[in-house]
Every structure is written in C-alpha cells, then in structure tokens.
C-alpha cells in the first residue's frame, strides 16, 4: 500500500478538497480495498487485500457526542447533502454523529458503505453510479 497517498487523501478529505469519487480512485490506486472511519477516535484504518493496514488521523475537532438512537433517514440526508456539495466533509461527519453513527466502513470493491449505530443499527449505501 502506498501510505503517502493514503495520508494525503485523508488530509484532502478533511480540507474538503477531494470529492468522494476521487477519494475512491486515489485509494484504489494506493492499494486500498476498504477502510473503517472511527468518528469517536477520529481515525481511519485502511486495509489492503494482502493484509496490510494503514492508520491515518482525521485532523479535526471532536465531532460531538454520538446520538443514542440511530436515525437512518438522517444518515441519508447527510449523504444527499454531501453528494450535492451543500456541506463539507467535516460537516458530513458531524451530521453522521448527530444521526447516531459512531463509525462507517467503505468497501471499495463492493462499492458500498455501511454506517454504524451504537446498538448495532446500520444503514447500507451503494455508491452512486459513476459518470
């Protein structure tokens, strides 16, 4: 895995200078198969098919307390807002926490993301079709 690219992608995401389709493209080029975003520890864990792992810190202020009840509709609202460019990536993360999501996983090969709630609730979002 190319850890330099991974750290740069993480940094650019927080700076809101890299849209999600480009994140996926660059991470794929870096050898990433999936990643786990921990919204409490503010850390992403990237996984390669060969078992390599890379940790990268999300350099942002704490996102706030994770809401106890998971609200899938609020997660979907956050997804629509970021896809339309209405909110930044860090705002998106705050919306997720306010919706009760403490983490999410992105499965590049499977082209989907899973948003996780505190009681085992989850929302699955398939990647939008590519242009």
Please write the tens of the pLDDT for every residue from 6-18: 999 999 999 988 8
Calculate what percentage of the chain has a pLDDT beyond 90.
85
Q: What is the pLDDT of residue 112?
A: 96
Q: For the domain 3-126, what is the CATH code?
A: 3.30.1810.10
Helices of type H across 15-116: 20-29, 72-83, 89-98
The CA distance from 88 to 67, in Å, is 20
Q: What is the pLDDT of residues 67-111, one digit of tens each?
A: 999 999 999 999 999 989 899 999 999 999 999 999 999 999 999
> In whole numbers, what is the pLDDT of the chain averaged over residues?
94
The CA distance from 119 to 127, in Å, is 25
Parse the chain into domains and list their residue ranges: 3-126
């Amino acid at each position: 895995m190319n850890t330099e690219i991974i750290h740069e992608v993480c940094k650019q995401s927080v700076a809101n200078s890299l849209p999600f389709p480009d994140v996926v493209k660059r991470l794929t080029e870096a050898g990433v198969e999936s990643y786990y975003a921990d919204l409490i520890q503010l850390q992403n864990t990237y996984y390669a098919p060969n078992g390599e792992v890379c940790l990268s810190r999300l350099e942002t202020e704490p996102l706030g307390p994770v809401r106890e009840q998971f609200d899938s509709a609020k997660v979907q609202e956050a997804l629509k807002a970021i896809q339309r460019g209405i909110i930044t990536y860090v705002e998106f993360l705050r919306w997720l926490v306010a919706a009760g999501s403490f983490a999410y996983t992105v499965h590049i090969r499977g082209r989907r993301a899973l948003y996780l709630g505190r009681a085992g609730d989850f929302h699955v979002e398939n990647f939008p079709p590519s242009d």
